[in-house]
Structure 1
Amino acid sequence: MFDKRKLSNLVEENQAELLDLTAKLLQIPSENPLGDTTEITKFIVGYLEKNQIPVKTYEPDPKRFNILASIGPENGKTLIYCGHSDTVPVGDLEKWDFSPFSGEIKEGYMLGRGASDMKAGLAGLIFSMVLLKRYEVPLAGKLVLAIVPDEESGGDFGVPWLLDQGLVKGDGCLIAEPSSELNPTIGQKGSCWFKLTVNGIPGHGSLSPFLGRSAIFDAVKAIEKICQVTNWEITPPDDLIELLNVSNRYLELNERSETRGVFEKITCNIGTIHGGTSANVVADKCVVAIDCRLPFGITNEEVMTRVRQMLDQLDIDYQIESFGFKSSANFTPAEDPICQAIVENITEVLDETAYGVLQWACSDARHFREHQIPVLQYGPAELETIHGFNEKVKIEQIINCGKVYTLAAVDYFNKVNGGKNEFN
């Protein structure tokens, strides 16, 4: 029989292996784009197989590999532990204070691209499965590890592909995406990415605005209209009011009071603008990429309809095309067994009260919810460094998350099996 103290001690005793695994993942570049996960996949597969865990890989797109592994009996409930092996690009190397592929430990932090998003969390999931297998911890169900290659580029060949192919099924899921230490994310805003193309009439730049019609000028008008989406009044469903209040209090407690209300409003980011061919030519085309995040109470389709209605008032020649992330706001009830298993074990490991909150962005969690699989996100992170230069994560958080993952995996089966698991 394994109790919680024994499992927690096993993580402590093997923490050097967890940290070494994290460092090795950081030392393998897996930037997306380009999206090549060949090398990191080979390493992960080798580590799992060395620990007597069978692995299957799938390559739905060249050099993008999904990894599936499982332990525990086939009968009973299935819990999915999910992570992504890709990272965003490192960007300008001169702006880093250390090598983004160092995996170095310094002043209590693990350093490198993906340290927070999300190779430390991914290492924790892999390590937890290996630990449970190595010490023959009894599981009253199947624990599945799903590692996907392209979360940072929209995820078409990762989680949704696995779910649509029927390769992954489950009754609950944890994604090791970065979060705060005490607050896993149990819901998230929707996403509406679209590309606006504005057409103009070319002419000699010396005669503008007398001749020609600038696509850039018209695009500016369109952008001013589109940015008004943040001012729309949107009424959230009644059953989300408490979760919204809790999430706003979380923002204030974590020194993000300036973002209060972000969960109730549409956000709008003008990401890129490409227009014209030369300074002395009236621009005949301007293309704008826009990222809107949607609160509960409005759908992607409703936003696009209203945006088109606004742009139709401008008398401009335009087209709109959706791309990238597309979803409505979604959540998992805090009472679900997977949420309880994670939250309760965070509270136990850290000896502080944990609770779930909303996420202002979106992730692969939406795909699991679309397939009626309850899901939440919890992972080690130095949130301010995610996607930025000098990304890092606290060593202590890596170890604590390793404990939470290991304890929660067993505790989850205890909950869904009515207390029949040998776990106290």
Structure 2
Amino acid sequence: FNAHYDVVPVSGAWKHGSPFSGTVDRGWIYGRGTADMKGSIASLLMALEALQATGTTPKMNVEVSFTADEETDSALGTGWLVEHAPIKPDYAVVMEGGEGPAVCCGHNGVVWLEVPVHGKAAHGSTPERGINALEKMAALVLGLEAHKKELARRKFKTPEGKLMVPTINVGGVFGCGEGAKINTVPATATFTVDRRVLAIENHLAAEKELRAALAVAAKKIPGCRITVAKISENFSCYTAPTHPFFAAMATTVAKVRRAPAVFNVSTGFNDMHFFAAHRKIPTLGYGPGGIDYHG
């Protein structure tokens, strides 16, 4: 069983106490990380205590790992664990991705790129002497629309019948370079690209394709010069839920939830791929759930 204890940064206003207060209101705990994923850690610890309290001996050895770094790229968390720790699991449950009647059998991957657009600085009163990097960046972002439409034609049907498509989100982080001022022509403008990779796509091919789309779009814009750097990546994974491990989980979930279990594929990434793709063992995702995970 695997869960992470790091959280995403705090932003926005909170209706229930402070972000780390753990305020309880009508049976719900509110705070950053309650759903993603301190709730899973608490649930797992309670389950282990229940095994001990009832004198129940599991039919197999139970290993538990709590790691950090999942909200970035997991290189120092579960990624390190599967490479260096003396663990050899036969099955893995990552405690997120599925909840309620839904059991997660895979997730999208991600490629994060940073794209600096290079212009030429000039005084704001003589903009014709410079090259406005912000204007070039705006044109470049619009130039990616053709690639977005191309990706939207690709479809992956999940076991629950949901159609998934690859996606691109631009500008999660964007800004100008040093020395920015209202009366200057910006010499640099930078934006990020978040490419979600389907479980059926080739990860390396997806990154190569995205870089090519950026280059083609930039070439069509006079005076647009760019560089592209990879910030981070996480690989996708998918296991067809035909193994008895999945059937056992589905039976258990249906019994507890009093509803037929379904198998989903998460649009977001988690640490399942380290066990499913790297360790090549049956891996599923399931936890107590919650709302507004990153909200």
Indicate whether the TM-score tops 0.5: yes
1:338 corresponding residue in structure 2? 245
- Check the 8 A contact 1:266/1:292 in 2, yes or no: yes
1:353-395 deviations in Å (ceiling 9; x for gaps) = 1111111111111111222122111112233x2122xxxxxxx
- Check the 8 A contact 2:137/2:189 in 1, yes or no: yes
TM-score by length of 1: 0.63
Cα offset, 1:95, TM superposition? 3.3
Higher helix proportion, which one?
A: 1
Pair 1:363-2:270 in alignment: yes
1:111 corresponding residue in structure 2? 30
- Check the 8 A contact 2:43/2:288 in 1, yes or no: no
More relative contact order, 1 or 2 (CA 8 Å, 6+ apart): 2
1:88 corresponding residue in structure 2? 8
Pair 1:223-2:141 in alignment: yes
2:100 corresponding residue in structure 1? 181
Q: 1:131 to 1:180 in 2, by over 3 A?
A: closer
CA distance in 2, matches of 1:269, 1:344: 41
2:168 corresponding residue in structure 1? 267
- Check the 8 A contact 1:270/1:289 in 2, yes or no: yes
Pair 1:169-2:88 in alignment: yes
Match of 1:149 among 52, 62, 68: 68
**Residue type at the aligned position of 1:180:** E
CA distance in 1, matches of 2:285, 2:40: 10
1:12-411 maps to which residues of 2 (within 5 A)? 81-92=1-12, 94-177=13-96, 179-208=98-127, 210-233=128-151, 235=154, 241=157, 243=159, 246-248=160-162, 261=163, 263-276=164-177, 277-313=180-216, 314-315=218-219, 316-327=224-235, 329-369=236-276, 370-383=278-291, 385-388=292-295
- Check the 8 A contact 1:196/1:320 in 2, yes or no: yes
CA distance in 2, matches of 1:225, 1:298: 23
Cα offset, 1:344, TM superposition? 1.3
Q: 1:223 to 1:108 in 2, by over 3 A?
A: same
Classify the secondary structure of the residue corresponding to 2:185: coil
CA distance in 2, matches of 1:310, 1:216: 19
1:36-67 deviations in Å (ceiling 9; x for gaps) = xxxxxxxxxxxxxxxxxxxxxxxxxxxxxxxx
Cα offset, 1:241, TM superposition? 4.1
Q: 1:269 to 1:377 in 2, by over 3 A?
A: farther
- Check the 8 A contact 2:234/2:269 in 1, yes or no: no
1:129-159 deviations in Å (ceiling 9; x for gaps) = 2322343312222110010012112211110
Cα offset, 1:324, TM superposition? 2.2
List, as ranges, runs of 4+ consecutive aligned residues in structure 1 with deviation greater than 4 Å: 233-236
Cα offset, 1:170, TM superposition? 0.9
CA distance in 1, matches of 2:75, 2:92: 19
**Residue type at the aligned position of 2:284:** L
CA distance in 1, matches of 2:211, 2:10: 36
CA distance in 1, matches of 2:211, 2:254: 47
Q: 1:151 to 1:108 in 2, by over 3 A?
A: same
- Check the 8 A contact 1:272/1:289 in 2, yes or no: yes
